Structure 1
């Protein structure tokens, strides 16, 4: 039976149930096309479905632009990162109880959050990100997904111990806030690229490389509040077209460091199809 418009509207509001007012820290409730607290602070829900919680001078650097988000959408649609999405869905299904809540910190377009929610029929997900261009897509990535604008480096406008799993894929990590919002029995699921990730393209195109000490630094940063529970390495070869390589190059930080025309000339010299390695570490942490 098709989902009624009213039921879909209610499903989209469910992820907002864990939100707090970023000004007075009281609970927010949906009122029409806004979220409001008892002190009458109000935050609009954009027509695309995400809640705008960033106010005043609360802005962060490095916000993904419209062109970066478009490039990411195009690349993810190719399916080259589908093995990673399937891995996250499998792990989350084993980690989360029925009717759970997932928070994706740095949700981007919602690609991975949607994959997780598809594997968990009774679970709702909330994504936080600073980019309005990404949030527009994240809010519509799944019927049980919600999205809100927020700077991951700041204290989250989320109730304490309200989340069963925090998902963090290629995004900043706020260990103290991850710990605060997680249930004591919850889990933190993090994805980081390894130094081998896209190594072939780094050499030819001058893409930003991955710090070899990244994984060790991650564990050290989280060690005061989290203990490692499970780690998986995921490595495979992608066969990329010139269009795939261009979209992948422009969807991340490299887009801010290389002139687009220079990058396109380098891609043209590669010869395609081109094989490149995808290499990730997927780690599960438990709160101490």
Structure 2
């Protein structure tokens, strides 16, 4: 269960296009049904479905990475809701994509506490896998030296601090628009003067509340071993693990055939798509 304090956060399920078109009627109905779950009603002060109305070149997302514009869609989605969260008066926005799932109970309480007690601009996880899969070369290798220590996009963002919003806007327009937004923030920080970089570095903070494993297969690990190795971790970003959980849930005749941890994750993964804490908004890519 994600919370002990009821109705302490706002939840936004964010969509790149227009979720209200007739073509998306079935999808919207399914999402509206999702928002009626007890976990949503009890843990979030409000829950909404919102559209970024992206289309055409502004909505490109090509995981094959065959063109420099391959990630413009996710970038525009992120910055759209970053600005909205700031305009609505939230202190922090937590972005959680659909391949993030809870590792422990009370993860929303932990996010709430973190958002209340920090002044950092970005709080999240570095890349923790042994290698990153290259979709063009079809092989696994190290991240480039310039980006290997960046904070993954599934993170807390200080939307209530105008200085951060200005920094993020400059990063998007500083010839880095084609880079994934999390890499652009990291690279733009590295472009500052040494004096300013030293001042700003403390604003970008690693925290084990979320673990980023990207797309690498973690066949040698288990969720139990992750909990033992990372006692302060509450969320995991792993597309590989999410696929395993979905396949196991689909092949099970009942939840009773799943292990306790798998049952918890299967029941809560949808709610974890986009979570927030008091004075904190959230967008889900």
Assess same fold via TM > 0.5: no
Larger RCO (CA under 8 A, 6+ residues apart): 2
TM-score (norm 1): 0.27
Q: Which has the higher helix share?
A: 2
Q: Which has the higher strand share?
A: 1
TM-score (norm 2): 0.27
